[in-house]
Amino acid sequence: MKLLCWREDGRRVFGIAGAGTPAEAVDAAAAAAAVDAGTPEGPDPDRFEPGWFADARAFIAAGEPALAAAAMLLERAPAAARRALATVALEAPILPSTILCSGSNYHDHNREKAPAPTSGREPEFFVKTADCVVGPEGDIPLDRALTSKLDCETELAVVVGRPGRHIPVERALEHVAGYTIVNDVTARDRQVRRKPDGSTWYDLGRGKVFDGAAPLGPWIVTADEIPDPQALRLRTRVNGELRQSSTTGNMIWTCAQLIHFFSVNLTLRPGMVIITGTPGGTAWSTDAELGGRWIGGDGDEPLVPASGYCRDGDRIECEIERVGVLRNTVREQRGRG
């Protein structure tokens, strides 16, 4: 099942769609109201809780009963509650309260960049918020007052379903509601800092947290559709050029290990998102000034080295197998004082 969102009559609509590549989605709240009202007994308060279909966070928090209800709605929703996906403009499927981020989590990405003291030794822990999120087809702002070295990174995003603290690795995937894509947009000239002795440290606040720094979508794929999150291919294309290609099997810490890692610090709650790092092939890898070294991907597909950082009008496609493709366009911010 896929969880998605679009805007209709000035409001965000939470929708559901079937497995695979769906052609249509169902307005979940409208379908629930219509199906419930159409039963011979009239509305049944035990069938649907009114708030289940308010948005993705509410739906995920409701757990298995909401999933079962949604499966029924996909079959029984009336035509008035169905929308052809080609006719709606998707928005980010969820606005997470917290995006927990793990940097330097792919072997090849670690080799292509200037390392910080913790690179490859433990996940580089930083946080983004819903303020960074833009949806499918949304613009990625290029603000020259912030950066002249804007980079993009395709990342598998884990959406938390069940709450928990100190979650053991072997039980971690039981806490997953589903998966989506996040583009971990980065201001490299803000991130990468050098000390007088030549060593490197990362400013992950200025470099990672800003407007448009977390394109997210196009939907959330429920966990039952992805039994093994460590067996997915990721790709990034810029203006059609293949810049990144690797598999989640090249992570240093698996999704389950990252869930455990973050749960030591925080109680993970439904609707939180964990992003899991990016493979080699970033624009940073071609920037010797910031310590970049071109490595390429995992060797399965030939990559095109970046000729520079993101420019106005660049078309970014972040693809993850079994999830989908997230598309956005870089837009330079003009006319600001």
Q: What is the pLDDT of residues 283-297, one digit of tens each?
A: 999 999 999 999 888
78 and 144 co-located in one domain: no
Confidence check: pLDDT of 225 > 70: yes
Does residue 121 share a domain with residue 50?
no
Find the CATH number of the domain harbouring 217. Answer: 3.90.850.10
Give the count of domains, the chain: 2
pLDDT band, residue 36 (cuts 50/70/90): confident
Average pLDDT over residues 213-220: 98
pLDDT for 97-144, tens place per residue? 899 999 999 999 888 887 777 777 899 999 999 999 999 999 999 999
Asked if residue 113 belongs to a domain, the reply is: yes
Instruction: Mark whether 21 and 130 lie in a shared domain.
Output: no
Residue given tokens 């990672």 in the structure block: 208
Residues 276-335 have pLDDT tens digits of 999 999 999 999 999 999 988 888 899 999 999 999 999 999 999 999 999 999 999 986
| pLDDT band with cut points at 50, 70 and 90 for residue 41 | very low
Asked whether residue 262 falls in the same domain as residue 191, the answer is yes
pLDDT at residue number 113: 86
Same domain, 142 and 256: yes
Verify that 126 and 22 share a domain, yes or no: no
3-state secondary structure the chain: CEEEEEEECCEEEEEEECCCCCCEEEEHHHHHHHHHHCCCCCCCCCCCCCCCCCCHHHHHHHCHHHHHHHHHHHHHCCHHHEEEHHHCCEECCCCCCCEEEEECCEHHHHHHCCCCCCCCCCCEEEEECHHHEECCCCEEEECCCCCCCEECCEEEEEEECCCECCCCHHHHHHHEEEEEEEECCEEHHHHEEECCCCCEEECHHHHHCCCCCEEEEEEEEEHHHCCCCCCCEEEEEECCEEEEEEEHHHECCCHHHHHHHHHHHCCECCCCEEECCCCCCCHHHHCHHHCCCCCCCCCCCCCCCCCCCCCCCCEEEEEECCCEEEEEEEEECCCCC
- pLDDT confidence of residue 45: 52
Which string of b and e fits 214-242 if b means at least 16 CB within 10 Å? bbbbbbbbbbeebeebeebbbbbbbeeeb
Q: Is 215 within a domain?
A: yes
Radius of gyration of the chain (CA): 20
**Domain end call among 36, 65, 90:** 90
Q: How many CB atoms lie within 10 A of CB 271?
A: 21
Q: What is the mean pLDDT of residues 255-273?
A: 98
Say if residue 259 is in the same domain as residue 313.
yes
Of the residues 90, 116, 134, which one is the last residue of a structural domain?
90
pLDDT (tens digit, 9 = 90+) per residue, 43-75? 555 577 879 999 999 999 999 999 999 999 999
Statement: residue 17 has pLDDT above 90:
yes
**Cα separation of 60 and 53, whole Å?**
9
Average pLDDT (270-280) is 97
Beta bridge partners of 182: 155, 216
Q: Which of 31-40, 180-189, 277-286, 326-335 has the lowest mean pLDDT?
A: 31-40
**178 plus 52 within the same structural domain:** no
Quick one: pLDDT at residue 38? 57
Q: What is the pLDDT of residue 22?
A: 85
Range of the domain at 172: 92-332
Q: Within a domain: residue 337?
A: no
Q: What is the mean pLDDT of the chain?
A: 93
If pLDDT is split at 50, 70 and 90, which confidence band does 336 have? low
In this prediction, residue 42 has a pLDDT band, given cuts at 50, 70 and 90, of: very low
Domain boundary at 90, 121, 147, which?
90
Q: Tell whether 13 is covered by a domain.
A: yes
CB–CB of 59/93 below 8 Å? Answer: no
